Amino acid sequence: MRDLYARFGGGLATIFLTLVLIWLAAMVLAPNLMMIDYALRPNLPPLQQGGPQDVRSLDNFLYLANEGVHRAIFLKTIWASALVAALTLVVCYPVAFWMAQRATPGQLSIALMLVIIPFFINEVLRTLAWFILLAYRGPLNAVLQGIGLIDAPVRWQGNGGVLAGMVYAYILFMLLPIYNAIESLDKSQLEAARDLGAGTIRTHRRVVIPHAKAGIATGCVFTFMLAAGSYVAPALLGSPGSRWFTEIIYNWFFEGGDWNRGAAYALTLLVLCLAVVLVTLRVFRVNLTDVAK
Amino acid sequence: MSHSVELDGIGMRFGSTRAVSGVSFTVQAGEFFSILGPSGCGKTTILRMIAGFLEPTEGRVLIGDRDMRGLGPNQRPTAMIFQSLALFPLMPVWENIAFGLEARGVGRAERRKRADDLLRLIALEGYGDRMPGELSGGQRQRVAIARALAVEPGVLLLDEPLSALDLKLRQHMRAELRALQKRTGVTFIYITHDQSEALAMSDRVAVMSNGLLQQVATPRQLYDNPATPFVARFVGETNAIAGRVSAIGDGMARVDTALGPLHGRADRSLAIGQAATVYVRPEALMPGVGANTLRARVSRMDFEGAFALVHGQFPDGAALTAAVPSTRLGDAPALGTDASFSFAPEHAVVLADA
């Protein structure tokens, strides 16, 4: 804060701070407070709003707690998002390591282009591409049947499709933080470990992963949050049996017309996601400030 | 426990550039051996070929008479100390030291005990639980040495490990490294571009230039009997006076130069009429007239305490440097005057120009 004033002078620094505060108040604080207010009130016709029945209660939250199907989908969304983060990590870590430590500058720029260019395209369209790939009469089934691996087409849409679509959609959010972290590792550390007799697994477990911990945690947090709040992938690649919690929130808002219950559901998801993230960071002994970097 | 290292005609090519060609020498078991050369001369490439990080494109590396072809750095009886030291910053000192033992499946209690033993050896007892970042430069240096010694290597490879230290600490660490080598008896192969470091510590030194081996000799021989013009100029200070060989005999040669005929020691490979240069160390030049006399105009004098460096200029503009002991400064010529300097023939070396 003092640096800010020292660098830009009183007038400009005050303007910056005011703008940031207005932004935070209008775009973050106010909508969330409104959502909390919505979540605590019953869903009433306009005429009864503000009337004697319009009292704050936890009814909307209790509804979720007592509704078995919604509760199950909610819990599944949480652990499936963790699974998405874990799978994305498994896919990205070797690639990030290769890019950061092994690739030549030419290979690196090609690899970076290959992972970044698809992200120029909207998430909906990218997911739609998977929708086409995984279709019942789509290319994947055709290829697998062609080489004789399966006899009849497989219905990929459902849990498997959602998982694949999400891992693909969030690769960049996992890859880049880990790449950044591993890139700063001095090559001679790897050579020293090897010279002292360590194999690949020990070198990664004892040298690379501890060094890249903050990057890995950042990637996992991003991916988990994005997966838990994802709507497109479950809507396009899912099946009725693989519903995501965001779809239920959507239903309350736009089909059930019950904004209050929708707000309660959304708030629950937000709070639980935050809790999962904070616990994860605590377990891996990473600070929130490391993630912010 | 210590091993000999034999390089048999090794060469290394990166694409079309040759980093090292046709280098052969043998390091005896238990020797302190240095590889000296300017940066880019191929000395680090040689070290990395011995360590197993690079596979030579030609020739063989033998350690303890065993051919090392196809063996990775984790399978060779060598341990390397990196220029950056490469301590693991997120592990406490004792785990750093015991890392090689951990990789060999030694149990935790035993590892801790061995680490403590090594900490005692490097006079850092009780530092085991600190992090490397909490140590001073010299302490980190010693931890890196202990970490390499923990795996009981037959050969210790050191890649300019003192270059990051300040002068005083560097001089202290030289003595310490030398003492440690004597105490452990491990073969040390030490890479450096600092000739005084190489001369002060080594049993023998190999001098490299442009990927080629110039000479392998004891520090004394290297200084007194350089085998090539490069060694004569690179190791220590020297005055070089070019000319043509006019007489040879009895291990001596006469060279006719623009400053008159000069005599110096020479080997048999010289031929009469060949272009050659006479190399004389500054401390071999004395004021006065003698067997070989040079005349030069005195342009500068730097008093250094034990001796004074007298700088002169020959009529053709070439420079002369003489180190005159303070006890003989009475004979020193005055600035700006023409003066005679002489040297004994056995203090000069004649080498054919490359």
Calculate mean pLDDT across residues A177-191: 93
Q: Residues 133 to 152 of B: which have CB under 8 A from any A CB?
A: 147-148, 151
pLDDT for res A210: 93
Q: Are residues B128 and B217 in the same domain?
A: yes
Q: Are residues B9 and B80 in the same domain?
A: yes
Tens digit of each residue's pLDDT (9 = 90 or more) over A21-47: 999 999 989 998 998 988 888 888 877
Q: Are residues B71 and B122 in the same domain?
A: yes
Neighboring chain A residues of B51 at a CB cutoff of 8 Å = 195
Return the residue in A101, A102, A189, A195 with the most chain B beta carbons within 10 A, the one to mutate for interface testing: A195
End-to-end CA distance of chain B: 42
pLDDT at residue B218 greater than cutoff 70: yes
Distance CA A199, CA A178 (A): 21
**What backbone phi and psi angles, to 5 degrees, belong to B341?**
-130, 145
Tokens 């869903």 sit on residue: A43
Calculate mean pLDDT across residues B195-206: 92
Nearest to B74 among A186, A189, A198 (CB): A198
**Minimal CA separation from B307 to chain A, in Å:** 44
Give the CATH number of the domain where residue B296 resides.
Answer: 2.40.50.140
Return the residue in B14, B47, B90 with the most chain A beta carbons within 10 A, the one to mutate for interface testing: B90
Neighboring chain B residues of A199 at a CB cutoff of 8 Å = 74, 103
Single residue among B229, B246, B269 that ends a domain in this structure: B229
pLDDT for res B164: 76
pLDDT at residue B327 greater than cutoff 90: no
Q: Is B312 helix (H, G, I), strand (E, B) or coil?
A: strand
Residue A262 vs residue A240, higher pLDDT: A262
Q: Are residues B77 and B207 in the same domain?
A: yes
Residue B239 vs residue B163, higher pLDDT: B239
Answer whether B73 sits within 8 Å of A199, measured CB to CB: no
Tens digit of each residue's pLDDT (9 = 90 or more) over B155-172: 999 998 888 788 888 888
pLDDT at residue A203 greater than cutoff 90: yes
Q: How many domains does chain B have?
A: 2
Element (H, E) at A257: none
Distance CA B194, CA B161 (A): 12
Sheet holding B212-217, edge to edge: B78-81, B155-159, B187-192, B32-36, B204-209, B212-217
Distance CA B329, CA B222 (A): 29
Neighboring chain A residues of B92 at a CB cutoff of 8 Å = none
Give the 3-state DSSP-derived string for B5-52, with helices as H, strands as E and coil as C.
EEEEEEEEEECCEEEEEEEEEEECCCCEEEEECCCCCCHHHHHHHHHC
Q: Are residues B219 and B243 in the same domain?
A: no
pLDDT at residue A112 greater than cutoff 80: yes
- B114-144 as b/e: b if 16+ CB within 10 A: bbbebbebbebeebbeeebeebeebbbbbbb
Q: Are residues B344 and B269 in the same domain?
A: yes
- Chain A touched by B51 (CB under 8 Å): yes
Distance CA B158, CA A195 (A): 13
pLDDT for res B44: 92
Q: Are residues B222 and B294 in the same domain?
A: no
Q: Are residues B135 and B269 in the same domain?
A: no
Q: Are residues B63 and B158 in the same domain?
A: yes
Please name each of the domains of chain A with its CATH number.
69-292 (1.10.3720.10)
pLDDT at residue B333 greater than cutoff 80: no
pLDDT for res A156: 85
Nearest to B151 among A186, A193, A197 (CB): A197
Neighboring chain B residues of A192 at a CB cutoff of 8 Å = 80, 82, 86-88
Single residue among B229, B261, B278 that ends a domain in this structure: B229
Q: Are residues B213 and B154 in the same domain?
A: yes
pLDDT for res B305: 86
Give the CATH number of the domain where residue B23 resides.
Answer: 3.40.50.300
Answer whether A195 sits within 8 Å of B74, measured CB to CB: yes
**Minimal CA separation from B218 to chain A, in Å:** 30
Answer whether B82 sits within 8 Å of A188, measured CB to CB: yes
pLDDT at residue A293 greater than cutoff 80: no
pLDDT at residue B268 greater than cutoff 80: no
pLDDT at residue B50 greater than cutoff 90: yes
Calculate mean pLDDT across residues A96-100: 95
Q: Is B303 helix (H, G, I), strand (E, B) or coil?
A: strand
**Minimal CA separation from B80 to chain A, in Å:** 7
Single residue among B229, B248, B275 that ends a domain in this structure: B229
Neighboring chain B residues of A186 at a CB cutoff of 8 Å = 84, 86
**What number is the ipTM of this complex?**
0.80
- Chain A touched by B79 (CB under 8 Å): yes
Torsion angle of C-alpha atoms A98, A104, A109, A113, degrees rounded to 10 = -40
pLDDT for res A291: 66
User: Parallel, antiparallel, or unpaired: how do β-strands B78-81 and B155-159 relate?
Assistant: parallel
Q: Are residues B151 and B129 in the same domain?
A: yes
**Minimal CA separation from A284 to chain B, in Å:** 14
pLDDT at residue B314 greater than cutoff 70: yes
Tens digit of each residue's pLDDT (9 = 90 or more) over B96-146: 999 999 999 999 999 999 999 999 988 899 999 999 999 998 899 899 999
Nearest to A197 among B82, B91, B100 (CB): B100
**Minimal CA separation from A186 to chain B, in Å:** 8
- Domain that residue B241 falls in: 237-352
Bridge partners, residue B240, by sequence: B279
Q: Are residues B148 and B188 in the same domain?
A: yes
pLDDT for res A102: 92
pLDDT for res A253: 87
